[in-house]
Every structure is written in C-alpha cells, then in structure tokens.
Amino acid sequence: MPGESWRRCSACKKPIAYGAGYYVCSVSTCNRARTALQFCTVSCWEVHLPVARHREAWAEEKTAPSAAQAAAEERASRESRPQPGGSAPAAPRAPRRILPEAKASAGSGSRAAPREVLIVASRLKDYVRAISGGFNTSDRVLEPLSEIVRAACEEAVRNARAEGRKTILDRDVPKR
C-alpha cells in the first residue's frame, strides 16, 4: 500500500503506522476480509461495541506489517483471490485479550481485582424466565449483579480474616 501509514482506524480514522500496534475485535464477523475492522486504541474498539451488539467480545492486540510486508501481502492477495483474514502481524504472537471491563479495574489493596462479569448470563436468564413466567433479562443487569457479588465476597473475606482463616466458609458470606 502506498503512503506513510498502513491503514486507518475504523473508528476515529487516524492513520495506523507500519509496524505499529493496533487492535481487532475478537468476533469473527468483524475480522472478515470484507469488514476488516482495525482500531488504533482500545477506546476506539469500544466505540463499535454498542453498534455491533456482541454478546462477548474483547480486543486483540496485533502489530501492523512493515511497508515491505504490506506490499508483498498486497501482491500475494492480487495473485490468489480471495484471501480471508486480512494482514498478518509482523511477528506472530499470542493475542492479548482486553475486555471492556478491564479498562476500569480499581481494586482494593495492592493488587487490582479483575472487573469481569461474575454472573453466568444464560443461567441467570433461565432462572428469571422460570420464576417470572417468561420475563426476559437484559445483558445490562450482569454488571450490577456482579457488583453485588463482589461486595458480598469482600465482606466474606473480611469475616474470614477476622477469624484468622484464609478459607472463606459459608458462614462468612453475608445474609440478605
């Protein structure tokens, strides 16, 4: 590809330089050759989440190819159409999973606690449907319920610590 940059960010349209780090969505429909979404930052990746309405997704960190590699890939793709998957990273490595919740991790103590959703969505939805006679459950209830579970876990840890144990028992979990 001619020019000073490899591609442009799908969200903010800023150039992604050759050899620079960028992010792609973990969902396969976002990575098809025709779609080929790439983002310069995790924030730009998060912009597409409300539109894409993924149930579970994360940003995968990749590295843009060098100018020479991009030119070679372009020639190869012209010679053997179609070539799914887009461009390969300059140096293959395991992708880093970056969840949207990981951005706001603020834990107590010296280590930051993971801010992932702690509720199994399918089990919760089945339970609500069974007890309500057919109600549906929004995915947005998962985070508030996870906060309730986190608070109960923190209290259970405090209770176990007060008794000199490093094992949380059922009696440490707060009652409603």
Residue 108 lies in a domain: no
- Residue 95 sits in the same domain as residue 124: no
pLDDT at 49: 82
Tell me the pLDDT band of 86, cut-offs 50, 70 and 90: low
Question: Taking CA 53 as the corner, what is the angle to CA 47 and CA 54, rounded to the nearest 5 degrees?
Answer: 100
Domains held by the chain: number: 2
Residue 112 lies in a domain: no
Which of these three, 102, 128, 147, is where a domain ends?
Answer: 102
pLDDT at 52: 82
Which of these three, 79, 102, 125, is where a domain ends?
Answer: 102
- Range 67-86 average pLDDT: 74
Residue 60 lies in a domain: yes
Which of these three, 73, 102, 131, is where a domain ends?
Answer: 102
Residue 61 CB burial class (10 angstroms; 0-12, 13-18, ≥19): middle
Average pLDDT, the chain: 82
pLDDT at 21: 92
Q: How far is CA 119 from CA 12, 139, 144, in A?
A: 33, 10, 10
Give the distance, in angstroms, between the CA of residue 154 and the centroid of all CA atoms in the same chain: 25
DSSP string, the chain: --SSEEEE-TTT--EEETT-EEEEESSGGGSSTTT---BSSHHHHHHTHHHH--SS--EEEEEPPPHHHHHHHHHHHHHS---TT-PPPSS--PPPEE-GGGGG---SSSSPPP----S-HHHHHHHHHHHHTS----GGGHHHHHHHHHHHHHHHHHHHHHTT-SS--GGGSPP-
pLDDT at 3: 72
- Residue 10 sits in the same domain as residue 80: yes
More confident residue, 50 or 171: 171
- Residue 38 sits in the same domain as residue 95: yes
- Residue 68 sits in the same domain as residue 31: yes
Tell which residue, 59, 61, 58, 60, has the closest CA to residue 20.
61
- Residue 26 sits in the same domain as residue 68: yes
**Highest mean pLDDT (candidates 2-16, 44-58, 159-173):** 159-173
- Residue 75 sits in the same domain as residue 136: no
Alpha-carbon gap, residue 72 to 132, rounded angstroms: 59
Residues of the domain holding 68: 5-102
Tens of pLDDT, residues 95-143: 666 655 444 444 445 566 667 888 898 899 999 999 999 999 998 899 9
Phi, psi angles (nearest 5°) of residue 59: -90, 135
Tens of pLDDT, residues 15-40: 999 999 999 998 888 888 888 899 99
Least confident of 36-50, 54-68, 87-101: 87-101
